[in-house]
Amino acid sequence: MTRVLWFTEHYPPSRGGMAESCDRIVRGLRAAGVTVDVAHLTRRDRPWRTEGEYGGRLLTAPLGDNAEHALRRLWTVLAGETYTHVVAFGGTYALLGAPVLAAWLGAPLVTCLRGNDFDTGVFSLRRREALLSALRASARVCVVARSHGPLVSALVPEAEVRWVTNSIDVANWEILPSERASGRAWRASAVEPGRRVIGLVGQLKNKKGVGFLLDGLFASGRRDAFHLLLVGELEDGVGERLDGVACSRMPFLERYDLPRIYASCDLVALPSFYDGLPNVALEAAALGVPLLASDAGGLADLADDEIGFTFRAGDPHGCREAVDRAARATDEQLAKLGAAAGERVRRDFTPAAETAGYLAVLQETG
């Protein structure tokens, strides 16, 4: 029987795309018959405890102000257990602790890289050695963006890399009539007639290229064609650059509050300099919203000009041209792009395919 110890700093009740992805992958593996014990290295103030979940256990290990103690105490809980695999999924301390416990448990290590763990981790004085040590110790390294594979191999040539893309469960992911009506009402009250609404959703960090998109809007001469809807937390300095741009700002929202936001948008922008495959891209595309996106990371695996307006990451001329093409698109063209986006996600980015990818990795290393 396959029994996995799954190390992560991102698991419910933690919020955000990483926690959502972790929960979805774990549920998929458990439904496929794999026993998964999740060791949640939480930064929240929670008690140590072990509780049963369907298909495994949840071990809550608060890091507190002494992460080294938490990791060593976790071994006290796990000593004597038998696992066929140890998986490191996201977070500095998951990457630090999983290789040690995999060795002590005598189980192969699988390291899952989702974006920042690799993109900025390799340049971090604090995180780099833990990352490289985990990659060297891994029987397999799973990347969520196809383009990350060669980068991992260049640093750790002996690493066996597998691409397993992100996914979205569309079974209950739709825009309800009430949410569509809410979107229309918001546009009528907040958006000047004739303007396209571009949505930017999530943790709007420097890597997400918000300022870069603003440069593209100004350089294209098309800023008067658009209204920006920014939903989430802006990094310092970005807000000041919004002067002269029609925009609305909303706080961070939970996932199931987002369909009414997507219903308000003509496009969703992901102008990232580097990235994994953001849940926002899949969520918007699945609901038929075209993307204005760079080819950073896993975005290149999803987006092209058949489902939106794309450009090379960090290319100011490409960004300006994509903005111009989006401004000139007709309603019919946007509808066609959105329909193609929804079809692509339903066909190629399914939880079943994601689960099958991770099952194959476990079978290879079992």
More confident residue, 45 or 351: 351
Q: What is the pTM of this model?
A: 0.94
pLDDT tens digits, residue range 183-204?
Answer: 999 999 999 999 999 999 988 8
pLDDT tens digits, residue range 87-121?
Answer: 999 889 999 999 999 999 999 999 999 887 899 99
Residues pairing with 247 in the sheet: 228
pLDDT greater than 80 at residue 67: yes
pLDDT tens digits, residue range 134-175?
Answer: 999 999 999 999 999 999 999 999 999 999 999 999 998 999
Give the separation between CA 150 and CA 58, rounded to whole angstroms: 34
pLDDT tens digits, residue range 236-292?
Answer: 777 778 888 999 999 988 888 999 999 999 999 999 999 999 999 999 999 999 999
Q: What are the structural domains, with CATH classification, of the chain?
A: 3-167+350-365 (3.40.50.2000), 177-348 (3.40.50.2000)
Distances (CA, A) of 293 to 169, 186, 299: 22, 24, 7
pLDDT greater than 90 at residue 234: no
pLDDT tens digits, residue range 291-306?
Answer: 999 999 999 999 999 9
* Residue 161, CB-side half-sphere exposure with 13 Å CA sphere: 21
pLDDT greater than 80 at residue 354: yes
Check residue 188 and give its pLDDT: 96
Give the separation between CA 152 and CA 257, rounded to whole angstroms: 36
In the chain, the percentage of residues whose pLDDT exceeds 90 is: 87
